[in-house]
Amino acid sequence: QVQLVESGGGVVQPGRSLRLSCAASGFTFSTFGMHWLRQAPGKGLEWVAVIWYDGSNKYYADSVKGRFTISRDDSKNTVYLQMNSLRAEDTAVYYCARGRGDHTNWYFDLWGRGTLVSVSS
Amino acid sequence: QSVLTQPPSASETPGQRVTISCSGSSSNIGSNTVNWYQHLPGTAPKLLIYSNDQRPSGVPDRFSGSKSGTSASLAISGLRSEDEGDYYCAAWDDGLNGPVFGGGTKLTVL
C-alpha cells in the first residue's frame, strides 16, 4: 500500500526539541524528494522543508531556518524532521509529503495524515 | 495571513457546480503554475490538480482547474456529499523562494 505515516508528535515545552519521523511504503522511496509541511490551528498550510531524493540539497522556510533539520534514511524508507528551539508558533499538525515537479513547480502527490506538535509550558 | 487568497467558505447543493477562486500576485500565480489540494475530514490531504489544469490518475473529471493572470480557479461539477471538506490552492513564490498556499475554502454540500 502506497502511504506515508508520521510519528513523533506530542507536547513539548518552549525551547526544547522534538524529532518527527515519516515512514514511507509502497513506492521506491529513494527516487523521490520529500517534504514537511504544517498547519497551525485555524490557519492554512505552510511548507516547512524539503530534502532532495539523494539528500544532496535541503531547503527550509525562513520561519524554521537554523532551528529545524530535515534528513532521510533510505535504508529505512524514512524522512525525519529534527526540531530544536521550539516556539509556541511552531504548534501545528505536521505532514510529510512526497514531492513531484521541478524546483519552481513543486507539488505534493502523496501525503500522510499528520502528527500534532504542541509547544506549551 | 496566507499569501494566496481564497474565500473561506463555499456551498452548493448536490449535483450542482461550484467554483473556488484563488488570488495571488505576479511573484506566485502570475509566473508559476497552480496546484490544488483536497483535505477531507479525518483523511490525509490529496492532490487534486497540478500544473494549473492537470488531474492526477484517479481524480474524476468532475474536478477541473484553470488559471488566468494572477488568479486561478477550481471547479467541481456534479457535487456529491463526499466532496465536503477543505480545498487549498498553492503555487511557488519567486520572492519567498518556496511554495505558498491559500488559507483554504471549506466546501459545504447542502
Residue range A57-62: mean pLDDT, rounded:
95
Its sign, for the CA torsion A27, A28, A29, A34, is: negative
From B33, B88, B103, residue closest to A105, measured CB to CB? B33
Whole-Å CA distances, B26 to A103, B65, B69, B72, B94: 18, 19, 8, 13, 9
pLDDT value for A62 = 94
Do the chains contact at B47 and A114, CB–CB below 8 Å? no
Do the chains contact at A105 and B51, CB–CB below 8 Å? yes
**Shortest Cα distance from B15 to chain A (angstroms)?**
27
Residue range A57-64: mean pLDDT, rounded:
95
Res. A61: pLDDT tops 90: yes
pLDDT value for A34 = 97
Q: What is the pLDDT of residues A66-111, one digit of tens each?
A: 999 999 999 999 999 999 999 999 999 999 999 998 877 889 999 9
Instruction: Tell me how far apart the alpha carbons of residues A116 and B88 are, in angstroms, rounded to a whole number.
Output: 20
Q: What is the mean pLDDT of chain B?
A: 96
pLDDT value for A103 = 78
Q: Pairing state of beta strands B71-76 and B85-93?
A: unpaired
Do the chains contact at B99 and A106, CB–CB below 8 Å? yes
From A104, A106, A111, residue closest to B45, measured CB to CB? A111
- Check residue A105 and report its DSSP letter: S
Q: What is the pLDDT of residues A20-51, one digit of tens each?
A: 999 999 999 999 999 999 999 988 999 999 99
Q: What is the pLDDT of residues A10-28, one digit of tens each?
A: 999 999 999 999 999 999 9
Q: What is the pLDDT of residues B45-73, one digit of tens each?
A: 999 999 999 999 999 999 999 999 999 99
Are the CB atoms for A50 and A69 separated by under 8 Å? Answer: no
Do the chains contact at B45 and A46, CB–CB below 8 Å? no
Full DSSP string of A45-75? EEEEEEE-TTSS-EEE-TTTTTTEEEEEETT
Residue of B nearest to A98 (CA): B47
Full DSSP string of B62-88? TEEEEEETTEEEEEE-S--GGG-EEEE
The region that residue A91 occupies, defined by phi over 0 for left and psi between -120 and 50 for alpha, beta otherwise, is beta
Res. B1: pLDDT tops 90: no
**Shortest Cα distance from A30 to chain B (angstroms)?**
21
Expressed in angstroms, the distance from the first to the final Cα of chain B is 28
pLDDT value for B76 = 98
Q: SS3 breakdown of chain B: % helix, strand, coil, rounded to 5?
A: 5, 50, 45
φ, ψ dihedrals at A41, nearest 5°: -55, 125
Q: What is the pLDDT of residues B17-39, one digit of tens each?
A: 999 999 999 999 999 999 999 99
**Shortest Cα distance from A87 to chain B (angstroms)?**
19
- pLDDT band at residue B42 using 50, 70 and 90 as cut-offs: confident
